[in-house]
């Protein structure tokens, strides 16, 4: 009989609760114990989705930044403009929403990888809509404007910090050598550090698995001590594969 690959491993999952079900099931099936500690709560901007559906047909290119953006306001199936996703997880969300012919980088789920695509090199005079949450990086919009495109951002949701009881993390403090933290966005990591307060010195010693190299860099800046294992993208399959790279307990 094959030994479960995550046997006795404690996996702290910081993904928003409504998106974590499948990933948590995979971890448990592999012998791991899940501690759900969402560090992001998605709050939908009132009327934003309805307004987007009215405006979206006017643009030559539409870029979705995250699966959350797709969940809040999926594009109409009759969309005529070119459709882009920042990574494979977002592309899969668009496919699940009935979209085809999605253009996305295969390397990493970052603005840099998206901007390197051949389809976004010559965009002078093109109208581009970026569908995202509030805040975040401005690199994508600024670079496309520098390439002389007309760029508009539709910020249809905001990321808030949920209220979690840090006592949920007590099992980690008892057996820290068995624990790992997963982060699928930079905001998830930032919020986590804010939420754990005085537990930070202990928890920032734990191994981490991140949804990209960029997120790993953010974690290092936040004070996490171990070199992160960076997944290809923040999707469930890639994150689970990255967990398999952890040393066996």
State both tokens at 147.
């390439």
Together in a domain, 167 and 207: yes
Return the pLDDT at 2. 46
Query: pTM of this prediction?
Result: 0.78
Residue 151 Cα distances to 53, 85, 116, 127, 138, angstroms:
17, 16, 17, 6, 11
Return the pLDDT at 55. 83
Return the pLDDT at 248. 73
Return the pLDDT at 4. 65
Residue carrying the six token digits 């990086």: 137
Together in a domain, 120 and 182: no
Residue 230 belongs to domain with CATH number: 3.40.50.10090
Longest dimension (CA), the chain: 61
Together in a domain, 115 and 207: no
Together in a domain, 176 and 232: yes
DSSP run (H or E) holding 151 = strand 150-160
In contact, 195 and 166? CB cutoff 8 Å: yes
Together in a domain, 119 and 179: no
Which of 159, 194, 229 marks a domain boundary? 159
Question: What is the C-alpha separation between 239 and 224, in angstroms, rounded?
Answer: 18
Least Cα distance to 101 among 127, 126, 119, 83 occurs for 83
- For 237, phi then psi, to 5°, come to -65, -45
* Residue 83, domain member (yes or no): yes
State both tokens at 68.
């959350």
* Residue 103, domain member (yes or no): yes
Return the pLDDT at 218. 95
Together in a domain, 111 and 213: no
Range of the structural domain that residue 178 is part of: 10-40+162-243
State both tokens at 103.
């253009």
- For 35, phi then psi, to 5°, come to -115, 110
| Cα angle 76, 212, 65; round to 5 | 20
State both tokens at 221.
């800046």
Together in a domain, 121 and 23: no
Return the pLDDT at 1. 34
Alpha carbon 138 to its chain centroid, in Å, reads: 16
* Residue 249, domain member (yes or no): no
Return the pLDDT at 18. 83
- For 150, phi then psi, to 5°, come to -95, 115
In contact, 239 and 211? CB cutoff 8 Å: yes
* pLDDT by 10s per residue, the chain, length 249: 345 688 889 999 999 888 899 999 999 999 999 999 999 998 887 777 777 777 888 899 999 998 889 988 888 888 888 999 998 889 999 999 999 899 999 877 788 989 999 999 999 999 999 999 887 778 999 999 999 999 999 888 888 899 889 999 998 988 888 999 999 989 999 999 999 999 999 999 999 999 989 899 999 999 999 989 999 888 898 999 999 998 876
């Amino acid at each position: 009989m094959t030994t479960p690959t995550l046997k006795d491993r404690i996996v702290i999952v910081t993904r928003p609760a409504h998106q974590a079900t499948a990933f948590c099931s995979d971890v448990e099936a592999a012998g791991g114990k899940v501690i759900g500690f969402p560090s992001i709560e998605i709050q939908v901007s009132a009327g934003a989705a309805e307004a987007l559906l009215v405006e979206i047909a006017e643009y030559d290119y539409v870029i979705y930044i995250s699966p959350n953006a797709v969940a809040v306001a999926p594009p109409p199936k009759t969309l005529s403009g070119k459709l882009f996703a920042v990574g494979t997880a977002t592309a899969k969300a668009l496919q699940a929403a009935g979209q085809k012919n999605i253009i996305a980088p295969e390397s990493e789920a970052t603005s840099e990888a998206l901007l390197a695509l051949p389809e976004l090199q010559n965009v002078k005079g093109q109208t581009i809509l970026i569908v995202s949450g509030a805040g975040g990086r401005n690199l994508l919009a600024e670079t496309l404007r520098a390439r002389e495109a007309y760029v508009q951002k539709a910020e249809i949701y905001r990321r808030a910090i949920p209220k979690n009881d840090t006592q949920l993390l007590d099992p980690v403090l008892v057996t820290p050598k068995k624990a790992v933290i997963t982060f699928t966005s930079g905001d998830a990591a930032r919020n986590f550090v804010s939420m754990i307060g005085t537990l930070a010195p202990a928890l920032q010693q734990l191994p981490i698995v991140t949804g990209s190299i960029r997120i790993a860099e953010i974690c290092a800046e936040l004070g996490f001590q171990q070199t992160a294992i960076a997944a290809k993208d923040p999707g469930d399959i890639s994150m689970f594969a990255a967990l398999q790279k952890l040393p066996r307990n």
